[in-house]
Amino acid sequence: MRISIAVVISFILIFGLGLSSYMQDRDIVLSKKNLPADEASIGPINSLSLPYPPSLRVEKPEVKGIHVTSWVAGEPKLFTNLVRLVDETELNTMVIDLKEADGRIGYEADLPLARSAGSIERRIRSLDGLIEECKRHNIYKIARIVLFKDTYLAEKRPELAIKSQSTGEIWRDYKGDAFTSPYIEEVLEYNIGLAEDAARRGFDEIQFDYVRFPSDGPLKDILYPEGHNEAKAIATITAFVERAKKRLSPYNVKLSVDVFGLTTLSDRVGIGQNFRQLITAADYISPMVYPSHYWKGSYGYKSPNTAPYEIVSAALRDAIRKSADEHQPVETTQDKIRPWLQDFTLGPPHYGPEEVRAQIKAARDHGIREWLLWNPVVHYTKEALVPFWNPDTYTARQQTPRPASPPSSEEPQS
């Protein structure tokens, strides 16, 4: 069978982007099935003129989802395989990258700043066709938008970037990536405008990732506005989420946010994310509780990656304790927490069906019924999903999680 050049290029790009995202916040999203054959004939669509499309919406299910990059979403054959996976298993949701961690927007967005800066890279050639395909298969569609980590826009518009104290130039983290500033109004409007465009197109939910200040790199060299501190950072990020939710309310879409796994344990992570405040501001919150991203000694485990059930259980236990009170009962908190779970191998042991299912079980044991799977190369473990998962063969650890150890310098990274 002949393999098209497009497919080969797509695989190269998927693996290149995927491998670089292992230690990032998680950078991927979904796509859909058969796209129109004559995609080249589909011109730009003025989404600002599109009405709110209720006919394209899907009633929200008990979300069980996977993340798909814009590259995969734009490749019909690869996307068709994912649609088939959803059709054949308990999955019902796709998180589709519209703006990824490189700052590029993967479809023809009607956004003036994106057009003038050249941020649009049309990886998804027919977003409307993709949305319609999801609708046909009753797939709940979440648009993932990476916010402030945006090297592309920072380089094109340096005045929007976080700056270096020592040089006055664009500040960069240890990987050379740049951030736009959450303190600049044009940056906020840019991202909210993209979220509104996705809502107009027919997405059921908007998901914000990298909704934070930088977490690594020469942090002391960052030139922040006068008065910047932990409290102001938290207030800025929380206010942005509240503002976005209000702006999206006319479209009847849900809003979710991705946060570091560490936020379930500590209120002071130095990046502007406060779990308790964000779970109140958004409709759903997705802590990235990947066992491989926790440091040695986390929750009392020498090798957290070998204890998928226990680590996820402890993290979600802390998330519920942190959020539930007289204003937000435990049941409400459980319904709003939707963790990202690990379906990839990063160091020993190899993650297969048992390790993936152990994390799902940990969530359910805490009354958390929704979850999302992350794999950097968009290759998911079918055998971990019902009906292919056989609970009679379950042998992964199911012991009661140990009490959390006092916070130390060996804290999880996401």
pLDDT tens digit string along 21-61? 433 443 322 233 333 333 332 333 344 445 567 789 999 99
pLDDT at 19: 40
Which of 102-111, 278-287, 380-389, 396-405 comes out lowest in average pLDDT? 396-405
> Domains in the chain, ordered, with CATH?
5-393 (3.20.20.80)
* Dihedral sign for Cα atoms in the order 182, 188, 191, 192: positive
Nearest to 283 by CA among 326, 252, 317, 322: 252
- The reported pTM is 0.84
| Residues making up the chain, counted from first to last | 414
Using DSSP bridges, classify how beta strands 371-374 and 205-209 pair: parallel, antiparallel or unpaired.
Answer: unpaired
Token pair for 86? 């959803």
Residue labelled with tokens 């999206």 = 248
Q: How far is CA 162 from CA 14, 148, 172, in A?
A: 28, 10, 8
Query: Alpha-carbon distance 182 to 233, whole Å?
Result: 9
Q: How many CA atoms lie within 13 A of 72 on its CB side?
A: 32
Q: What is the pLDDT of residues 75-90, one digit of tens each?
A: 999 999 999 999 999 9
Token pair for 331? 């049941």
Give the torsion through C-alpha atoms of 363, 366, 369, 375, to 10 deg: -10
- pLDDT of residue 406 exceeding 90, the answer is no
Q: Partners of 105 in the beta sheet?
A: 99, 120
3-class secondary structure, 368: coil
Q: Which amino acid is at 153?
A: L
Nearest to 95 by CA among 263, 218, 208, 252: 208
Q: Which helix (H) or strand (E) holds 357?
A: helix 353-365
Query: Alpha-carbon distance 354 to 357, whole Å?
Result: 5
